[in-house]
Amino acid sequence: MLGLSNALVHNALLDAWAVLVPVDCAGCAAPDRALCPACRGSLAPAPAWHQLPDGTPAVSGLDYAGTVRQVILAFKEKGRTDLARQLAAPLTVALEQIAPAAGRMPPELAPVPTSRASYRRRGYDPVAILVRRAGLSASRVLRHSRGTLEQKTLDMESRSRNLAGSLRAAYPLNGRSFILVDDVMTTGATLAEAARAIREAGAAVTAAVTVAHTARLIPGDSSSS
């Protein structure tokens, strides 16, 4: 009986080890490398300026395509939190770029929180990990409003309709000033909703930064080719 339970523990440890120790490159699946040198090179920061739908200036650190996309997906959806260090670098560069435009220094950071459903699925909040890994401090000023759990079941049109009001400030923010932080910017609608929630709580939102952006989907974006 003791032997059987030891075997079970042993197998559980091996499973845990396989999860904890990455064996394939997150970018190209080359074996035995967490991130091979070539893929590491493609994460070199390439900051680009954008504008949220509400006019707020934003800077992203990378183009969300190819290797970058693979690495971010592995980080967000496959438990590869070991990639946070590599992805924190482009976020830091984006923040350095936007800081002069953001006014007050040092700025307060407001990370866009992961939804409750995503948190249950992943077991972690990717943006919170990135902020920590970048050596930055941030307040958890944003919360998901009740009802966002059902977002997943809605079609695209209903989703964008429901995005309005999906975030709220956790407490009054009178007189404070924030830079929003998120992982990937697509249309900028989520960041605009985050800005709306913070402004509604009495604070200013001067800028936004993301690790990456999807170039073609940002309305009015002229900074990326």
Interface residues toward Zn ion, by CB under 5 A:
25, 27-28, 30, 36, 39
37/175 with CB nearer Zn ion: 37
- In angstroms, give the least distance from the CB of 73 to Zn ion: 14
Is the peptide bond between 172 and the residue preceding it cis, with omega within 30 degrees of 0?
A: no
For residue 51, the cross-strand partners are 57
30/101 with CB nearer Zn ion: 30
Per-position DSSP letters for 139-179, written without gaps between them? ---EEEPTTGGGGGGS-HHHHHHHHTTSEEESS--TT-EEE
- In angstroms, give the least distance from the CB of 38 to Zn ion: 5
- In angstroms, give the least distance from the CB of 24 to Zn ion: 9
28/136 with CB nearer Zn ion: 28
Phi and psi based region of residue 165 (left: phi greater than 0; alpha: psi -120 to 50; beta: remaining) = left
145 near 197, Cβ under 8 Å?
Answer: no
- In angstroms, give the least distance from the CB of 36 to Zn ion: 3
Structure tokens at 42: 């493609």
Task: Give the ranges where 21-155 is alpha helix by DSSP (H).
Answer: 37-41, 66-77, 84-98, 116-122, 126-133
- In angstroms, give the least distance from the CB of 32 to Zn ion: 11
39/195 with CB nearer Zn ion: 39
65/204 with CB nearer Zn ion: 65
Structure tokens at 181: 């932080």
